[in-house]
Amino acid sequence: MITPLLVSGEGLSIDDVVSVSGGMKVELDPDALPRMQRSRDAVERLVAEGRVAYGITTGFGRFKDRLISPEQVAQLQLNLIRSHAAGTGDELDEQTVRAMLLIRANTLAMGYSGIRPVVVQLLLDMLNAGVHPCIPGRGSLGASGDLAPLAHLALVLIGEGEALLDGERLGGMEALCRADLKPVVLGAKEGLALTNGTTLMAGLGALLVKQATNLARTADAAAALTLEALYGTDRAYDARVHAVRPHPRQIACAAFLRSLLSTSQFLRTDDPNNVQDPYTLRCVPQVHGAVRDAIDYARWVVSIELNAANDNPLVFLDEETGEADIISAGNFHGEPIAVAMDSMKLSVTDMGNMSERRTARLVDADCNGGVLPMFLTTQGGLESGLMIVQYTAAALASENKVLSHPASTDTIPSSANTEDHVSMGATAVHHTELVLNHTETIVAIELLTAAQGIDFRCRTMGLNPSDMGEGTRAVYELVRKSVPFLEHDVPLAPYIEMVRSLVYSGEVVASINSVVDLSRVTLD
């Protein structure tokens, strides 16, 4: 039996988010209960004393100067959830929704939001029961939190909105009832605590960091496989070269490539007539290493955000006197995530550029020096071979360039110019997701094409797959389980999708891990 993840407000990792998004159960840490209750008591005292605090006894945004009576504070929170549920576009997938439920609960468990433990418990109970709110993906500006998406999430807690349960779309109340759960009636500040935060950005961001890490390792493997197919040399990956330009992830990438290619007989030895390869082969450690840097930065930012209090206002208690200080600030602003995701999608876009150019070289006999036949077919003219897979890779690479425009450089005022600078962090994560998905397909096309090239090398050079590098052979064999050598023209889309699924699922990396110790040659 798998032990449930303990949600305590601290120590939540990206791997935890990935596990829970995939179905792992959760449990509220009892040690978080007193923290939450103390901050909740402070909110209730504030209301009873008639003190003014943003979003508790005032309206929201431009209405910050409208005072709310104690008799209306509960209605204020209900109105907030209903009015802010204004999202649009395709709905978030269940993995992202589960990540959001977990991260919001973890943030609230820190004890700075003034919310009752029973509300946080319901978030976790919904996770365990598989009650997944239906959340439109667009509508967040990435400041004042992911307001619209989180409002759609919160609707289900109060028995409204819609949710998926066992694949069936239900009204929020019915979904809770079928799961034997009861909705909550929100009190002072609780609607604001549920909607004010970077939860969509952090949740989807965590999943994307995991996806990007897998993709970067797979792209390394694709480059190594292409090097063998093109009769390249691994001289440029020599450890001495990278030691004198000591970027850590460049060094790690070069070490990984050397491990993949260890014992390969497909590589070119020193040749005075061909002393170096094109940049997309020779400079893989330099480019892919920089991509790893960007992914690592995003990992660092998201890991912090998973355990951050990003509500507004925040409740701080004096440990000695018990007095509460309610501070309005800006921890909901998504700029850290926006910048990190923009950096990651930009770097992944360039990794896709490299992969597409390697594919172009594989299919172009004029470019690869005749090592491989034009478009990797023996009947050129009558058959087109792999001509068009490069078109597909090029189309996706070009679309990525449009998507990689940094969302964080944009802003648009909201709430009658009260909220006059926003991060557009939600746009950054959405575009990063598209870039990653496209680049997975680009890399899959390279793998498919390189495997075809390997088979031609075997035919023309008297080699066998057993002569490949230890790691690249594992990748080649995995691809060949799904895609045969293509003797004649066939519809290629199904084969592209088969290999893309191997990339996305992590099976390519797993095949390498079975023969190469990744922990010794990677730096995340």
SS3 308: coil
Average pLDDT over residues 92-104: 98
pLDDT tens readout for residues 371-428: 999 999 999 999 999 999 999 999 999 999 999 999 999 988 888 777 888 999 999 9
pLDDT tens readout for residues 436-477: 999 999 999 999 999 999 999 999 888 999 999 999 999 999
Q: Among all residues, which ones are annotated catalytic?
A: 54
On the 0-12 / 13-18 / 19+ scale of CB atoms within 10 A, 201 is buried
Residue 114 lies in a domain: yes
- My answer on whether 98 and 117 are in the same domain is yes
- Contacts of 164 by beta carbon, 8 Å cutoff, 6+ apart: 94, 131, 132, 134, 170, 175
- My answer on whether 162 and 213 are in the same domain is no
Domain C-terminal end among 168, 197, 226: 197
Structure-block tokens of residue 288: 């892919």
Query: Among residues 168, 291, 316, 262, which one has the least CA distance to residue 471?
Result: 262
- My answer on whether 333 and 422 are in the same domain is yes
Structure-block tokens of residue 117: 């433990």
Query: In terms of residue numbers, what domain contains 229?
Result: 208-518
Average pLDDT over residues 95-112: 97
Residue 523 lies in a domain: no
DSSP 3-state percent helix, strand, coil across the chain (nearest 5): 60, 5, 35
Phi/psi at 205 (nearest 5 deg)? -60, -40
- My answer on whether 455 and 503 are in the same domain is yes
pLDDT of 523 reads 61
User: Distance between CA 109 and CA 118 in Å, rounded?
Assistant: 11
CATH number at residue 164: 1.10.275.10
Taking CA 163 as the corner, what is the angle to CA 161 and CA 169, rounded to the nearest 5 degrees? 110
- With a cut of 80, say whether residue 1 has pLDDT above it: no
Residue 85 lies in a domain: yes
Into how many domains does the chain fold? 2
- My answer on whether 20 and 61 are in the same domain is yes
Residue 202 lies in a domain: no
- My answer on whether 180 and 215 are in the same domain is no
Average confidence score pLDDT of the chain: 94
Cα–Cα separations (whole angstroms), residue 264 to 36, 217, 250, 465: 59, 19, 22, 10
**Other CB atoms within 10 Å distance of the CB of residue 99:** 29
User: Distance between CA 438 and CA 357 in Å, rounded?
Assistant: 15
- My answer on whether 51 and 76 are in the same domain is yes
pLDDT of 519 reads 67
Residue 382 lies in a domain: yes
pLDDT of 54 reads 84
Please give the single-letter amino acid code of residue 136: P
CATH number at residue 460: 1.20.200.10
- My answer on whether 354 and 502 are in the same domain is yes
346: left (phi over 0), alpha (psi -120 to 50) or beta: alpha
CB 314 within 8 A of CB 329: yes
Structure letter (DSSP) for residue 307:
T
**Other CB atoms within 10 Å distance of the CB of residue 158:** 23
Domain C-terminal end among 150, 168, 197: 197
Domain C-terminal end among 176, 197, 218: 197
- With a cut of 70, say whether residue 524 has pLDDT above it: no
pLDDT tens readout for residues 114-139: 999 999 999 999 999 999 999 999 99
- My answer on whether 174 and 279 are in the same domain is no
- My answer on whether 318 and 399 are in the same domain is yes
pLDDT tens readout for residues 205-242: 999 999 999 999 999 999 999 999 999 999 999 999 99
pLDDT of 393 reads 98
- With a cut of 70, say whether residue 354 has pLDDT above it: yes
- 171 sits in which H/E element: strand 168-171
What is the model's pTM? 0.96
pLDDT of 275 reads 80
- My answer on whether 214 and 193 are in the same domain is no
- My answer on whether 176 and 271 are in the same domain is no
CB 312 within 8 A of CB 306: no
Residue 32 lies in a domain: yes
Place of tokens 């009650």: 131
Residue 203 lies in a domain: no
Please give the single-letter amino acid code of residue 73: V
Residue 524 lies in a domain: no
Buried-state track 444-472, b at ≥16 Cβ within 10 A, e below 16: bbbbbbbbbbbbbbbeeeebebebbbebb
pLDDT of 520 reads 61
